């Protein structure tokens, strides 16, 4: 939600490491999945530089145990998104930082990262480390362009807390590095690893004799059976319709292939209107809306409300990411058997095979170049990247981090176990998308508004495609928006 690499930015401009190689490496390393995606949106102004040389923050002497040169006693400020993953896992890491460096740590947990921090970045007084996730996030592309983000190369080169012979870059999922780059600079650490898809209760399917659909047509048929039972087939976060894009966008890539999607990521002319997969997928959603297969009132629900309705059995399917298991835990029945399914087949002409899945690094952490203690911010991330805290994260929030093999031997929760199986079954057929990461205003606000109308039957598929292309073209022509390019 990062990178884009978003799972590994399929090459995303990376030097010599292809998507297929990254996925093979991740499979070999035994990494499975984890939660949360990072949506970006409004930000600050002001220039600056993110290099160590330009930082005015006080530093300490570097050593084997203090490779980043944290000055003992220097306070640290952490601003953590408190959403589906909560923030206790961060507090636990902060406690270790406080003990090691005898320093105070000011912690803020919030769901309003952007609104609260935009004026602070503009005023030159940002916190040291930030979990920039949630609907009200900062626009990291703008921050990077302005030199507000600390270059994290020193973190990648620092030794792991678990094995000093290994660098941090050796112990994290390779796609995390690719996704966290703006150009050639690695300045975002995507801490989690998320599986996106269609989530459901395996118990609900078993109790009714239903099977998870293999194709879009199978889904439409099953929706008809579900509706006859007096249950809504689908619900979604209508207040934040971009949640639907987790599936819709990936479904386009699955059917039409990654080259077609990369053209969309790169804002190429006619990338939407000239892609037959776009037509097929958007018309599928148009059909679901026309047949009233969405829970009535979904357009007015928040993500929490839609998840609660789903947990209560008012709907069978919901588009989401693997953070949902933790976020929905308060209302999830013990025998719910939360599960996630792969993307649906479109036809025999699909470019990617059955079982293809969207899986990406997520939960973006940034360190402020103009913060008072950027070395401390990076050190907190180094602590979080230890096996101790990666396992703590998995235990507390039912999700995995970017640290490979960190959960070996652990018993996984139902949703995470399902996500893990889906990831393994997908093999090389993993999709990662960049559009939502690079141009959040386009996807979350502009296209999201169109999707909201599509799902209520107020807009046709043809108009959705036409207007989406117009919005994308407008961004492509807007010189005030920094552009990024993804390689095939």
Rounded CA-CA distance 259/242 in Å is 22
Mean pLDDT of all residues belonging to the chain? 88
Q: Which two tokens stand for residue 458?
A: 């107020």
Per-state percent for the chain, helix, strand, coil, to nearest 5: 40, 15, 45
Closest CA to 246 of 462, 433, 28, 47: 433
Phi/psi of residue 129, each to 5°?
A: -135, 140
Domain 19-194+359-425 has CATH 3.40.190.10: yes
Between 410 and 339, the higher pLDDT residue: 339
Q: What angle do CA 474, 479, 484 make, to 5 degrees?
A: 85
The contacts of residue 321 (CB under 8 Å, 6+ apart) are 35, 36, 37, 194, 195, 196, 246, 362
Q: What's the pLDDT at 17?
A: 33
pLDDT at 60 over 50: yes
Q: What angle do CA 163, 67, 81 make, to 5 degrees?
A: 85
Q: What's the pLDDT at 220?
A: 98
Q: What would the pLDDT profile of 82-113 be if each residue is shown by its tens digit? A: 988 899 999 999 999 999 999 999 999 999 99
Tell me if the pTM is above 0.85. Answer: no
pLDDT at 29 over 80: no
Question: In Å, how far from its chain's centre is CA 72?
Answer: 34
pLDDT at 46 over 70: no
Q: List alpha helices for 301-413, DSSP H.
A: 303-311, 324-327, 374-384, 387-397
Q: What's the pLDDT at 125?
A: 96
Q: What would the pLDDT profile of 224-243 be if each residue is shown by its tens digit? A: 999 999 999 999 999 999 99
Domain 196-358+435-477 has CATH 3.40.50.360: no
pLDDT at 371 over 50: yes
Q: Quick check: 400 and 407 in contact, CB under 8 A?
A: yes
Q: What would the pLDDT profile of 281-294 be if each residue is shown by its tens digit? A: 999 999 999 999 99
Q: Quick check: 324 and 247 in contact, CB under 8 A?
A: no
pLDDT at 28 over 80: no
* Positions of CATH 3.40.190.10 in the chain: 19-194+359-425, 196-358+435-477
Q: What would the pLDDT profile of 296-327 be if each residue is shown by its tens digit? A: 999 999 999 999 999 999 999 999 999 999 89
Mean pLDDT, residues 136-142: 91
CB-based burial, 185-221: b 16+ in 10 Å, e otherwise: bbbbbbbbbbbbbbbbbbbbbeeeeeebbeebeebbe
Beta strands 400-401 and 232-234, pairing class: unpaired
Mean pLDDT, residues 324-336: 95
* Rg of the Cα atoms in the chain: 22
């Amino acid at each position: 939600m990062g990178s884009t690499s978003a799972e590994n930015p399929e090459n995303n401009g990376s030097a010599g490491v292809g998507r297929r190689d990254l996925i093979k490496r991740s499979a070999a390393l035994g990494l499975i999945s984890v939660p949360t995606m990072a949506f970006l949106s409004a930000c600050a102004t002001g220039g600056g530089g993110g290099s160590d040389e330009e930082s005015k923050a006080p530093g300490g002497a570097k050593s084997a145990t203090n490779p980043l040169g944290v000055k003992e006693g220097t306070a640290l400020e952490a601003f953590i998104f408190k959403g589906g993953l909560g923030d206790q896992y961060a507090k636990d890491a902060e406690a270790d930082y406080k003990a090691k460096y005898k320093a105070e740590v000011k912690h803020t947990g919030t769901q309003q990262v952007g609104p609260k921090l935009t004026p602070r970045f503009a005023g030159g007084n940002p916190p040291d480390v930030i979990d920039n996730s949630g609907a009200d996030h900062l626009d990291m592309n703008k921050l990077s362009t302005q030199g507000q983000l600390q270059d994290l190369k020193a973190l990648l080169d620092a030794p792991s807390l678990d094995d000093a012979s290994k660098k941090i870059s050796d112990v994290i999922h390779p796609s995390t590095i690719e996704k966290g780059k703006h150009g050639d600079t690695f300045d975002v650490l995507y801490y989690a690893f998320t599986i996106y898809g269609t989530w459901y209760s395996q118990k609900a399917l078993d109790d009714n004799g239903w099977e998870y659909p293999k194709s879009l047509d199978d889904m439409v048929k099953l929706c008809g059976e579900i509706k006859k039972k007096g249950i809504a087939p689908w619900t979604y976060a209508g207040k934040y319709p971009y949640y639907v894009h987790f599936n819709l966008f990936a479904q386009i890539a699955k059917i039409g292939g990654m080259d077609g999607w990369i053209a969309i990521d790169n804002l190429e002319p006619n990338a939407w209107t000239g892609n037959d997969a776009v037509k097929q997928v958007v018309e599928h959603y148009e059909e679901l809306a026309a047949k009233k297969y969405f829970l009535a009132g979904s357009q007015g629900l928040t993500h929490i409300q839609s998840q609660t309705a789903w947990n209560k059995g008012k709907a069978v399917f919901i588009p989401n990411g693997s953070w949902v298991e933790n976020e929905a835990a308060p209302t999830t029945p013990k025998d719910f058997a939360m599960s996630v399914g792969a993307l649906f087949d479109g036809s025999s002409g699909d470019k990617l095979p059955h079982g293809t899945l969207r899986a990406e690094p997520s939960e973006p952490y940034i360190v402020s170049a103009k913060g008072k203690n950027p070395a401390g911010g990076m050190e907190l991330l180094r602590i979080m990247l230890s096996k101790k805290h990666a396992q703590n994260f998995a235990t507390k929030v039912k999700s995995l981090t970017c640290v490979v093999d960190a959960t070996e031997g652990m018993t996984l929760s139902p949703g995470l176990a399902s996500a893990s199986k889906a990831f393994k079954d997908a093999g090389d057929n993993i999709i990662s998308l960049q559009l939502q990461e690079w141009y959040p205003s386009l996807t979350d606000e502009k296209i999201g508004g169109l999707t909201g109308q599509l799902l209520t039957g107020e807009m046709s598929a043809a108009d959705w495609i036409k207007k989406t292309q117009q919005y994308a073209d407008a961004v492509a022509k807007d010189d005030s928006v920094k552009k990024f390019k993804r390689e095939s």
